Structure 1
């Protein structure tokens, strides 16, 4: 998640102070990725260091205001135009967990998968319920002629989360099916080896017999 570019996008709409940036960021994303004020000000300090924002006085309540610079606008433009890099995917905890669970002593990997699937399906149901609420809010705002961009932005985020959890559930089904097939193949291989061992004549039975004189 690029907090840096998210803050630049909000500052493009005009000078803001830290707490307002945090609340607007969470409103735009439906609080899917909560921020604390410390994160906001740490990021603002780095943006200021890099010449992308500047402090621009204070508001009536004495809050320090930050404004985007021309360099910041160019950075934001580049961010919008460039695709998100997928050549170095972020580490995924679930993938790492399953990779480590394969063959681990005392770990029921199918139990791990089933537990995760239950959690994933519940999350998908929660996101779907929130999507219904977002659609209702958009419809009401549209009827009143007061369409809110935050409602639309939140809807897009929710739909991405729904697609993501749907894909994760399918992947978990695939993992379980894969493990079942591999276990069956191993079992068949073990049985075949046992059959071959039983059918093979022993060394004693095939050795040439000698008679004592």
Structure 2
């Protein structure tokens, strides 16, 4: 997800100024993606340039309220209809780290164990946050996704350990 699309989605619910957008973006994503206020205003400026939002008049506190345009609504709808493909996601540093450790003939067991411990701690934090997010379905969906990802990472780490333990190359390196 881009910040741009998140902001367009929030503006589709009505006009907002930058700080509101930042706060609502973070609340909607369960604070999984914290935003710098500068990112919000830079993104709004680019979207204004691209005709996706339009600024209104400044209020009494000097805040500019932005509204979504027809082009912005069309862009948001296009984003909703377009599936996310794996190539659109960032590279997984953990996968790269383990692959490089195996390539370098390093002992991957402590790497796997350290990650397993960190992932379990993160999973516990997500579960606690989910219990505290009663009544907010957007935040619950984000936290559920993060919980499922952490659980999948735990399963993948177990798989890595099993594969490497069974590998004749790994067994020779451990001797």
Q: Same fold (TM over 0.5)?
A: yes
SS of equivalent residue, structure 1 residue 62? coil
Q: Can you give the 5+ residue segments of structure 1 that lack an aligned partner in the other structure?
A: 139-150, 188-213
Determine the C-alpha separation between the residues in 2 that align with 1:159 and 1:73.
28
Q: Can you give the 5+ residue segments of structure 2 that lack an aligned partner in the other structure?
A: none
Bigger Cα Rg? 1
Deviating above 3 A after TM superposition, structure 1's stretches of 4 or more consecutive aligned residues are 183-187
Q: Deviations for 1:149-197, whole angstroms, at most 9, x for unmatched residues?
A: xx1100000000000000000001101111111147864xxxxxxxxxx
1:1-213 equivalent positions in 2, closer than 5 A: 1-104=1-104, 107-134=106-133, 137-138=134-135, 151-183=136-168, 187=172
Normalised by the length of structure 2, the TM-score is 0.91
Call closer, same or farther: CA 1:9–1:88 in 2, change over 3 Å. Answer: closer
What is the aligned-residue RMSD (CA, Å)?
1.6
Determine the C-alpha separation between the residues in 1 that align with 2:26 and 2:51.
25
Call closer, same or farther: CA 1:40–1:88 in 2, change over 3 Å. Answer: closer
SS of equivalent residue, structure 1 residue 30? coil
